[in-house]
C-alpha cells in the first residue's frame, strides 16, 4: 500500500468460480464499489471491465481515471484442487497419524497401506496412477524393532515405483528418511514424523505438507499466492482487528477449511478434501453420496438425487434454484458437519466464505452453520460475500491488512444472522422468558426447550436481550436472570433452545422430517 492509495481489484480463483471486486478510495477511505462472481474459466479481464463499467454507470465521478483500469493493482489468489497422495506406513497407528496430517494440510488420501502384510502389487498400482501426485513412506524415528523388516520391504517397493514413474513425488517421513539414497533426489522430500497429539497448524509435518502441496500444484509462470493459506492470514488479521477470537469457514468445491484465530495473531487451520461440497469419493461411492443426502430435507427418488448431487460437482452452476438450492443446503450441512468433527468449540464470531453461501438464502445458511458449530450463548455470523479475506491475506504487512479490513468491514462483510443458544431449559409451570428491546421495537417471547424461532432484527441494529427463568439456564454463563447484547443480520436473530450438541434421529424419514421442520419457515421467509 502507498501513501497515495489507488483503485485496485481483488481476484479469487476458486476451483468452481472466480470472484472479483473493485476497491477504490471514496469519501476518504477505501470502499468496495462492485463485486461479482462467474464460473471458473471466464476471462478475468472481462469481469474486471464489467465492474468498472457498472461503477461508472452509477457514479461517473467515483473513478476519475477509469480508462486506465488495466494497469491497476490486483490482489490475486488461486485455489487448486487438492492433490492426491498414497500413504505407506510401517504400522496402522502411524498410517492413521499420516492420514490425519496430510488431510489437514489439504491433501486427498487416495489409498493407505500399512505393515508387512501390505500387497506390493497394490502399492505399485496405486503409485502408478496418474491422478496420484505423491506417495509418503513413514516410520517412527528411530524405527522400532518390529518395524524394521516391514519398512525395509515397503521402501524397496515404493522406491521401485518412484524410479519408474516420472513426476511422482516421494515424501520420506520420520525413520523412513534413512532410505533416501534409494529414491530420485530431485523428486524426494525428507519430512519429520507426524505429531500424533497435534494434526493442525503448528505441526511441522502439516506445515511442510501444506507448503509442498501449494508448490507442486502451482501453475508454472503464474506465481499466484495460495488461496487457502491467504484465507487463514486474512482471518487472523480480522481477529486482531476486532480484538476477539474468530472462526473462518471456507466451504469450497474441491475442499473446505476452518481457521481458528485469536487476537494475538495465532491461528490454526484445517483443510479437508472430504469436507468439499461434493467430495471426489461421492462420485463413485454410493455410500459416500448417501452420507451427504442424509442431510437433505426434501423427499425424492434416491437414484435421481445421487445423480443430481454428482452433477453439482461436475457442473456447480447448473440447477441452482428450487430443489437444486435445497440440495446445495444438504451438501453445505454435510461439509460443515465434517469440518466441525474433532475441532475446538466455535468462538462467538464466525466469518463464512465460499460460493455456496451465496447460493442459499442467508437465514438458511446461518441455520446450517448454527447446527454444526454450537455453543450456548451469542453467536454472530458474518458473510464474506465478495471473498475478500483471501486476497487481503496476501498483503505482507499486518498493518496494511488491518487497515484495509477496517475500512472495508461494513462493505465486504455482511451480517448473515445472530443466534442466541439457550441450554438447560426445563419445562414447567414457570417458563423462561425473553424481553428483546431495540430501536425497531420491543418483543416478548416464551422459551420452551427444543424450539427454534426467528425474530426480526435487521442488519446493523443492536438490541438488549433479557432472559429470565425460575431455574438456572446456560447462555455461556449460568443464571436465572441474564442480560446480553445482540446484533441483527439478514436472517434476523435466531432463538435456539434445542440440544447442545444436537442429537440426530437415525431413521432417515424421521431425520428428514426434523430437518424439514426447522428449514421450512426459513425457506418460506426467503421466498416471499
- Digit-coded pLDDT (tens) for 252-277: 998 999 999 999 988 888 888 889 99
Work out the mean pLDDT of the chain and round it to a whole number.
Answer: 90
pLDDT digits (tens, 9 = 90+) for 25-34: 988 899 999 9
pLDDT of residue 1: 41
- Indicate the residue among 28, 54, 78 that finishes a domain: 78
Q: How far is CA 293 from the centre of its chain?
A: 19
CATH number where 45 lies? 3.30.420
pLDDT of residue 3: 38
- Indicate the residue among 217, 239, 268 that finishes a domain: 217
**Confidence band, pLDDT 50/70/90 cuts, at residue 320:** confident
Same domain flag for 281 and 357: yes
Element spanning 454, H or E:
strand 452-455
Separation CA 522–CA 125 (nearest Å): 49
Separation CA 176–CA 192 (nearest Å): 10
Residue with cell 521401485: 160
Same domain flag for 251 and 207: no
Helices (H), 117-243: 120-128, 145-164, 204-217, 227-242
Separation CA 447–CA 427 (nearest Å): 9
Looking at the domain assignment, is residue 222 inside a domain?
no
- Indicate the residue among 57, 78, 99 that finishes a domain: 78
Pairing of strands 413-421, 493-496: parallel
pLDDT of residue 4: 40
Looking at the domain assignment, is residue 56 inside a domain?
yes
CATH number where 204 lies? 3.40.50.360
Judge whether residue 201 has pLDDT over 80: no
Separation CA 127–CA 41 (nearest Å): 31
pLDDT of residue 270: 87
Domain encompassing residue 62: 8-78
Pairing of strands 132-139, 169-174: parallel
8 A C-beta contact, residue 156 and residue 124: no
Question: What's the number of domains the chain is made of?
Answer: 3
Separation CA 352–CA 218 (nearest Å): 25
Separation CA 139–CA 209 (nearest Å): 16
pLDDT of residue 280: 87
Judge whether residue 221 has pLDDT over 70: no
CB contact set of 457 (below 8 Å; sequence gap of 6+): 418, 436, 438, 440, 463, 486, 487, 488, 489, 492, 493
Cell numbers linked to 206: 502439516
Cell numbers linked to 469: 427463568
Average pLDDT over residues 137-154: 81
Average pLDDT over residues 352-377: 93
pLDDT digits (tens, 9 = 90+) for 49-69: 999 999 999 988 888 777 889
Same domain flag for 260 and 133: no
- Identify which of 176, 155, 171, 187 has the alpha carbon closest to the alpha carbon of residue 101: 171
Same domain flag for 244 and 159: no
Looking at the domain assignment, is residue 1 inside a domain?
no
Looking at the domain assignment, is residue 3 inside a domain?
no
**Confidence band, pLDDT 50/70/90 cuts, at residue 353:** very high
What are the backbone angles phi and psi of residue 200, rounded to the nearest 5°?
A: -115, -165
pLDDT of residue 196: 64
Average pLDDT over residues 298-319: 89
Residue with cell 432472559: 467
Q: What percent of the chain has pLDDT over 90?
A: 62
pLDDT digits (tens, 9 = 90+) for 166-180: 889 999 998 899 999
8 A C-beta contact, residue 45 and residue 67: no
Average pLDDT over residues 412-440: 89
Same domain flag for 67 and 88: no
**Confidence band, pLDDT 50/70/90 cuts, at residue 367:** very high
Looking at the domain assignment, is residue 118 inside a domain?
yes
Average pLDDT over residues 214-242: 85
The pTM of the full predicted model, rounded to 2 decimals, is: 0.88
Q: How many C-alpha atoms does 286 have within 13 Å on its Cβ side?
A: 4
Amino acid at each position: 500500500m502507498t501513501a497515495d492509495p489507488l483503485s485496485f481489484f481483488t481476484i479469487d480463483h476458486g476451483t468452481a468460480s472466480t470472484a472479483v471486486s473493485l476497491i477504490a478510495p471514496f469519501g476518504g477511505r477505501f470502499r468496495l464499489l462492485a463485486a461479482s462472481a462467474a464460473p471458473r474459466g471466464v476471462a478475468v479481464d472481462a469481469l474486471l471491465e464489467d465492474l468498472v463499467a457498472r461503477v461508472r454507470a452509477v457514479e461517473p465521478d467515483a473513478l476519475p481515471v477509469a480508462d486506465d483500469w488495466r494497469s491497476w493493482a490486483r490482489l490475486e489468489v488461486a485455489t487448486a484442487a487438492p492433490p492426491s497422495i498414497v500413504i505407506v506406513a510401517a504400522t496402522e497407528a502411524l498410517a492413521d497419524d499420516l492420514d490425519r496430517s496430510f488431510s489437514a494440510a489439504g491433501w486427498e488420501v487416495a489409498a493407505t497401506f500399512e505393515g508387512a502384510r501390505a500387497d506390493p502389487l497394490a502399492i505399485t498400482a496405486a503409485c502408478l496412477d496418474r491422478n496420484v501426485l505423491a506417495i509418503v513412506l513413514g516410520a517412527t524415528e528411530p524405527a522400532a524393532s518390529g518395524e524394521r523388516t516391514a519398512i525395509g520391504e515397503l521402501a524397496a517397493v515404493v522406491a521401485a515405483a518412484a524410479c519408474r514413474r516420472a513426476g511422482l513425488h516421494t515424501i520420506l517421513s520420520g525413520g523412513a528418511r534413512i532410505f533416501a539414497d534409494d529414491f530420485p533426489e530431485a523428486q524426494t522430500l525428507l519430512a519429520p514424523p507426524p505429531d500424533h497429539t497435534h494434526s493442525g497448524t503448528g505441526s511441522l509435518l502439516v506445515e511442510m505438507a501444506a507448503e509442498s502441496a501449494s508448490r507442486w500444484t502451482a501453475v508454472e509462470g503464474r506465481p499466484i499466492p495460495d488461496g487457502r493459506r491467504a484465507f487463514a492470514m486474512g482471518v487472523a488479521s480480522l481477529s486482531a482487528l476486532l480484538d476477539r477470537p474468530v472462526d473462518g469457514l471456507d466451504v469450497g468445491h474441491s475442499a473446505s477449511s476452518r481457521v481458528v484465530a485469536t487476537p494475538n495473531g495465532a491461528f490454526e487451520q484445517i483443510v479437508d478434501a472430504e469436507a468439499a461440497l461434493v467430495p471426489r469419493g461421492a462420485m463413485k461411492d454410493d455410500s459416500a453420496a448417501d452420507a451427504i443426502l442424509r442431510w437433505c430435507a426434501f423427499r425424492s427418488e434416491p437414484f435421481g438425487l445421487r445423480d443430481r448431487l454428482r452433477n453439482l460437482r461436475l457442473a456447480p452452476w447448473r440447477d441452482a434454484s428450487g430443489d437444486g438450492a435445497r440440495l446445495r443446503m444438504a451438501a453445505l450441512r454435510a461439509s460443515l458437519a465434517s469440518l466441525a468433527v474433532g475441532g475446538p468449540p466455535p468462538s462467538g464470531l464466525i466469518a463464512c466464505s465460499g460460493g455456496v453461501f451465496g447460493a442459499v438464502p442467508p437465514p438458511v445458511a446461518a441455520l446450517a452453520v448454527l447446527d454444526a458449530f454450537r455453543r450456548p450463548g451469542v453467536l454472530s455470523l458474518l458473510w464474506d460475500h465478495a471473498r475478500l479475506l483471501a486476497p487481503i491475506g496476501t498483503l505482507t504487512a499486518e498493518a496494511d491488512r488491518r487497515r484495509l479490513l477496517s475500512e472495508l468491514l461494513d462493505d465486504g462483510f455482511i451480517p448473515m444472522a445472530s443466534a442466541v443458544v439457550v441450554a438447560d431449559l426445563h419445562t414447567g409451570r414457570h417458563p423462561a422468558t425473553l424481553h428483546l428491546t431495540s430501536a425497531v421495537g420491543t418483543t416478548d417471547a416464551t422459551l420452551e426447550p427444543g424450539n427454534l424461532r426467528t425474530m426480526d432484527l435487521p442488519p446493523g441494529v443492536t438490541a438488549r436481550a433479557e432472559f429470565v427463568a425460575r431455574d438456572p439456564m446456560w447462555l455461556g454463563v449460568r443464571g436465572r436472570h441474564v442480560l446480553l447484547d445482540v446484533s441483527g443480520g439478514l436472517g434476523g436473530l435466531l432463538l435456539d433452545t434445542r440440544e447442545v450438541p444436537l442429537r440426530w434421529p437415525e431413521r432417515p424419514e424421521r431425520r428428514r422430517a426434523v430437518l424439514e421442520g426447522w428449514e421450512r419457515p426459513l425457506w418460506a421467509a426467503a421466498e416471499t
